[in-house]
Structure 1
Amino acid sequence: MIQRLYVRIYLTTLASLVVVVILFMLLWQFTAERAANTDHDRFMGALVSQALPPAGNAEVLQAALARLVVPPIEGLALYDHQGVRLASAGNQAGISSPAVVAQSKPGPGMSVSRLIKLDDGRMVVAREHTDSLQMHLGGLALIGLIALAVALGTYPVVRRLTRRLEALASDVDRFGGGDLSVRAPVSGQDEVSSLAASFNGMADHVESLLEAHSRMLVNASHELRSPLARVRLALELYETAPRAELLHGMRQDCAEIGEQIEEILLSSKLDAVTTAPPQDPVDLAALVAEESSRLDIAFEVVPAEVRGDGRLLRRLIRNLLENALKYGGQGVDAQLGIDGHGQRILQVSDRGPGIVEAERERIFEPFYRPANTAETGSGWGLGLALVRQIADRHHGSVRCLPRVGGGCVFELTLPAPGEAS
């Protein structure tokens, strides 16, 4: 069974070419050749009618027929309308009665009999020399040469196309084998080039995802060690001297571990899913008011609706507020407004120690640890990284700004409902 793609395409092309040649030959046989024979018979009938006298004895008709026996005509026989032979001239071999000639089909050979009907009802059977066999063979030879030329010209085209597909398949196999640096060459503007470009885009995305997940796993394992170590120490102390505060501390550490695991899973899901979030109407003011009230944070909002995933937007607002309380100290407040372009602007402000300009962008990286934080101190975790991921999926943005009088302002910008796409 033939498996190579280029062989299958090439054989399909050749088979199509053979079908076209056969159809062309049949069309030639049943249209052009028959039309030519009909025109020939009409011409011969008019010519013989003019050359033969309308009536006369056998000698006169014989002499008139003899004058018409010129190549390619080899013999003639004249019959009346009842099929009675009146006269003949030339080679009579193979000349039959008009009824027999009318029922027979001329075939390829050196001679052929033709029935010519005259205007006065008489009939002439003509024996003609024919080169139809040579003509058919010549036509077949010409068609064969054309088919050979097409076949030879088609092969390199088909082979070039399939060779590019084979190279792309080889690159895919190498990438699947673990070589993430493999990229397919993109040349031309056809479907193969589009497929290669799509593969390269997929490879870039997969490589970035794997690198991000690798970094996340390393950082997550590092961040989880601290609460796990505290839990282990608390268990050892509890075995020797049970105290309620030890149980309370372990519960807090377990809650922290659970929260970090939940954030890791959500971040991985956001990285893996490339489809747009749902475009449901979301009351942003209600979300800010609910989450601020839950955390006892002062807030000021105006009616503002956005389109997106309400669950993810609630998580975004919650992370911003909890981050401000955890690292920003006192004086935390939230303000939601609409700018002159209809964009929804949420500002979460605090009065913490602030963040230097060089680190205001890096704090949105997963598990980023500020330079002045001790190794045993707490990093930023995934909270702000999730904020940026969710904002990006809703075609928004988030940034960290300095606050007048000290502290930070985290500013979230989301497009108006009609602009989100």
Structure 2
Amino acid sequence: MKWKLTGRYLLSVVLVVVLVIFINVFISFALLIVQLGFDIPIVLEKETSPEQFTREFQDRIQIVDHVVTISEEGKNELLAKNAWLQVMDENGKVIADYRVPEGVKTKYTPTDIIQMYKYQEVNGDTTVFIGEKGSGDRHYSYFIGIENPNLNRYVLFYDNHVLFQMFKTGSVIFVIDILIACWIGYMFSKRLTQPLHALIDGIKNLANHQFLIPMQSQGIYENVFDNVNQLSTQLQANEKERKKLDQLKEEWIANISHDIKTPLASIQGYSEMIKDPDYDFTLDEIREYAGIIEQKSLYIKAVMEDLHLTTRLKNKELSIQKKTINMVTLLRSIVIDIVNDPKYAYRQIEFQPTEEHISVEADEILLRRAITNLIYNAIVHNDPDVKIVVKIEMRERAYMIIQDNGKGIKKEELNRIFDRYYRGTNTGEAHKGSGLGMAIANDIIQAHDGEIAIHSEEGHGTRVEIQL
């Protein structure tokens, strides 16, 4: 895998270089063809070369009765080129000239002509070109010197044997250069791909649930390594939470299974007894048994409703129907309903509002369910003589307190109080619930963009604070 990744990286670098070279060459040839075909100056300026200008200048030299003259057009072209002209007969004597600088010879031997053509014999800025003009049985030669410091001519001599040797040496050097380039490319690619190998291994570890292997940040991928490490930490925390939740679910399923089997057994037993013709129950006995069946059925129904509600709250499928309500009125009605319950008629529950009207935007049904759960928790998890105080006041937001002086909650349990399926050790046999009441209350408060906090000390009671 590592060699494959390094090879692909190296191949991609080489292909990019080759592709760039190919595109540049292709574009250059294409532009040159367009210039030559359509006479558009794209690559090179459309201008006659000095050699071609010299050859074509013979048309500007006129010979009449062996008298040599230069046409006006030729003179203008020489002026435009910043050039001068010397015309010589067959003996090398200058018989016509134009714009010749001082110090230039007026008669040339064959050696002088070669020297003049090959080397700059006039000055460092002038390059001399030679041409020929024929007229009848006579032939004339001419020099055109172009004064242009950017114009240069070099005479090249070469030996085929030397060229061949140079080609062989160049081929060896080229192969060595390719090998060096590949080695450098490999080292460069390896250095860049090593962190990728580490990243791939790290991601494999995450996929295999190996979250405890931190990766050291490397090179240009430092931020990527940091993010992967953060992901590893988050996945590790999520895995712990998942295991804890799975354990709670297993415990909850075992408890709920037991709790549901017990009322179902009662329902089944009393139903069989009532319908059995061998038994002759009085009306009072039938009503008593029917009451027990109803009570057990309501318990099972409450458990099912809690399950349905917590699932919808968790998946955010529950629609919150908000409207303006008076929280003082709502809390007062909740307290009155609980006190009117015959089971709790003798409990000490006080309602202490600081004012008579505190408006909030909320779903009254859901909020009633949450607050009722919290008050019932204070009742059923404490002794009958517990005192419960329900307060409400207006700060920056509606601020509610449900406080008791009961048993309190252990510190290790307080951190799990809002976990789904969790039952505290204070839950007595007579008051086993679904284990979802506190989680439902928390979810409802959060669904209203509110905050809920619990403060408790074992043996000194519990204080629940709600802000909406």
Q: TM-score range by the shorter chain?
A: 0.5 to 0.7
For the pair 1:289 / 2:329, whether they are aligned, the reply is yes
- Asked whether the equivalents of residues 87 and 140 of structure 2 are also in contact (C-alpha less than 8 Å), the reply is no
* Match for residue 187 of structure 1 among 211, 216, 227: 216
* CA 1:18–1:315: 2 relative to 1, 3 Å: farther
Check 1:57–1:383 CA distance in 2 against 1; reply closer, same or farther (3 A cut): same
CA contact (8 A) 1:227 1:254 kept: no
Q: Which amino acid aligns with 1:174?
A: N
Counterpart-to-counterpart distance in 2, 1:374 and 1:278: 34
Q: Is the 8 Å Cα contact of residues 306 and 434 (structure 2) preserved in structure 1?
A: no
Matches within 5 A, 1:73-88: 78-80=130-132, 86-87=140-141
Aligned 8 A contact 2:252 2:422 in 1:
yes
Equivalent residue pairs, number: 354
Task: Give the counterpart of 1:241 among 257, 274, 280.
Answer: 274
| Letter aligned with residue 169 of structure 1 | I
**1:52, 1:64 within 8 Å by CA — same for their partners in 2?**
no
1:67 aligns with 2:115: yes
Aligned to 1:110: none
Q: Rg bigger for which structure? A: 2
Question: TM-score scaled by structure 1?
Answer: 0.61
SS in 1 for 2:259: helix
Instruction: Tell me the secondary structure at the aligned position of residue 296 of structure 1.
Output: helix
Q: Which residue of 1 aligns with 2:393?
A: 337
Counterpart among 227, 230, 233 of residue 197 in structure 1: 230
Letter in 2 for 1:346: M
Going from structure 1 to structure 2, the CA distance change for 1:85 and 1:28 (only over 3 Å counts) comes to farther
**Residues 347, 410 of structure 1: 8 Å contact kept:** yes
Evaluate the alpha carbon distance shift between residue 185 and residue 288 of structure 1 in structure 2; reply closer, same or farther with a 3 A threshold. Answer: farther
> Structure 1 CA distance, aligned partners of 2:145 and 2:425?
113
Match of 1:259 in 2: 302
Match of 1:250 in 2: 293
Match of 1:319 among 343, 358, 373: 373
- Contact 1:333/1:349 (<8 A) preserved: yes
Write out per-residue CA displacement over residues 19-48 of structure 1, whole angstroms, 9 at most, x where no aligned residue. Answer: 3344566799999xx98xx9x979xx99xx
Deviation at 1:171, TM superposition (A): 1.6
What is the CA distance between 1:220 and its match in structure 2?
A: 3.6
Matching of residues 10-409 of structure 1 within 5 Å: 10-22=10-22, 54-60=86-92, 62-68=110-116, 78-80=130-132, 86-87=140-141, 118-119=145-146, 128-129=156-157, 144=178, 147-148=181-182, 151-175=185-209, 182-183=211-212, 185-188=214-217, 189-241=222-274, 243-264=286-307, 266-267=309-310, 283=324, 286=326, 289-290=329-330, 292-293=332-333, 296-297=336-337, 298=351, 300=353, 302-305=357-360, 313=367, 315-327=369-381, 334-339=390-395, 342-349=396-403, 353-355=406-408, 361=414, 364=417, 366-370=421-425, 378=432, 381-388=435-442, 391=445, 394=449, 396-401=451-456, 408=461
CA distance in 2, matches of 1:212, 1:11: 50
Task: Report how far residue 163 of structure 1 moved.
Answer: 0.6
Alpha-carbon distance between aligned partners in 1 of 2:455 and 2:413, rounded to the nearest angstrom: 6
Q: CA deviation at 1:359?
A: 7.5
Q: Partner residue of 1:95?
A: none
Task: Give 1:167 deviation, angstroms.
Answer: 0.8
Cα gap change, 1:183/1:11 in structure 2, threshold over 3 Å: closer, same or farther? farther
Say if 1:64 and 1:367 are closer, same or farther in 2 by CA, change over 3 A: same
The code of the aligned residue for 2:115 comes to R
Q: Distance in 2 between matches of 1:222 and 1:54?
A: 121
Counterpart-to-counterpart distance in 1, 2:187 and 2:321: 57
The whole-number CA distance in structure 2 between the counterparts of 1:9 and 1:287 is 67
Deviations 1:86-143 (A, max 9, x none): 559xxxxxxxxxxxxxxxxxxxxxxxxxxx97549xxx998644799979x6997898
Q: Is the 8 A contact 2:211 2:235 kept in 1?
A: no
Aligned-partner Cα distance in 2 for 1:197–1:359: 28
Q: What is the root-mean-square deviation of aligned Cα atoms in Å? A: 5.4
SS at match of 2:400: strand
Distance verdict in 2 for CA 1:390–1:367, change over 3 Å: same
In the superposition, the TM-score normalised over structure 2's length comes to: 0.56
| Contact in 2 for aligned 1:287/1:314 (Cα 8 Å) | no
- Residue 359 to residue 4, structure 1, CA distance change in 2 (3 Å): closer
Percent identical pairs in the alignment equals 12
Q: Which amino acid aligns with 1:347?
A: I
1:215-254 CA-to-partner distances (Å, cap 9, x unmatched) read: 1331242144124213213312321235333333333333
